[in-house]
Amino acid sequence: MINDWSSIQDIEYEFNDHQSNDQLSNSSILIEKALQRIPTCTPDDGARQSALLHTLLQWSQFAQEHNIRYWIAYKTLLGYAQRDGLLPNALDVDILAMAQDTSRLAELRTLNFSSDYELKVHPQWFIVEKTRRSYFDEEGIDFVGPNARFVNRKDHVHINIWPMYDYHPNQTRIEKNSKPMLTECDRNYKWKSSPKEWTFPLQKYLLSGIKVWCPTDSKNLVAHIYGKVSGNLSSIACVNGVWI
């Protein structure tokens, strides 16, 4: 467990700085076992679920090698809370990172680290209000909400990297002796704040066989975003070959 994230560049992750080929192979085996437990409904589900998990594995390795601070969020966190794994109908993976850490991602995006994976950073990531951001189609930036994306070029899936702020963008004053809060966009793109102690210190857990960083109080955060019943298994069902 890491308590002081201010020294992120100086720390070593407790699960080794670099994953060996044997470790990656073992992770791939765990992913394949996890996939057997994830329901499918449409003909494309199995391939997409596999692509998402292998993309998350590559991201976790990349983040570990470059000391990138992140944690799973939104429906990816919901999947962890409900079933310790990927939601069966997931189309992408969601993670959060402190907004100010995006500058680090901008530095890393130019690295030619893989022919199959690419880190895309929105050129206007420093603009907090999403409606003031633009699309940059020529650069492949077809998003304005996330600050960045980790893209699997081969399988055409991605990880959204959303910003977390240590202040409320719509508040100009901070009350004295107020509890430290973090602010993010909720599922309706409205600002939503939560106690910092719900997120930090981050914890390392397994999500469908992959070691990822999670908020320290996942239960409260999931309920805060999705409601109190969200901790139970989702009501996702397959009806006539369609997820509902």
**What is the per-residue pLDDT across 28-49, written as a single tens digit (0 to 9) for each?**
899 999 999 999 999 999 999 9
Q: Among residues 199, 244, 193, 191, which one has the least CA distance to residue 217?
A: 199
How do residues 71-125 score in pLDDT, each as one tens digit? 999 999 999 999 999 999 999 999 999 999 999 999 999 988 889 999 999 999 9
**Angstrom distance (rounded) from CA 39 to CA 232:** 17
Q: Among residues 45, 43, 33, which one has the least CA distance to residue 85?
A: 33
pLDDT of amino acid 15: 40
Decide if 162 contacts 183 (C-beta within 8 A): no
User: Does position 53 have pLDDT exceeding 50, yes or no?
Assistant: yes
**Angstrom distance (rounded) from CA 117 to CA 208:** 20
Which percentage of the chain shows pLDDT scores above 90?
A: 75
In angstroms, how far is the first alpha carbon of the chain from the final one?
A: 38
Q: What is the overall mean pLDDT for the chain?
A: 89
**Angstrom distance (rounded) from CA 122 to CA 119:** 10
Q: What is the mean pLDDT of residues 173-200?
A: 88
Please tell me the pTM assigned to this model.
0.89
How do residues 122-151 score in pLDDT, each as one tens digit? 999 999 999 999 999 999 999 999 999 999
Beta strand 157-164 with 93-98 is parallel
How do residues 16-27 score in pLDDT, each as one tens digit? 444 556 667 788
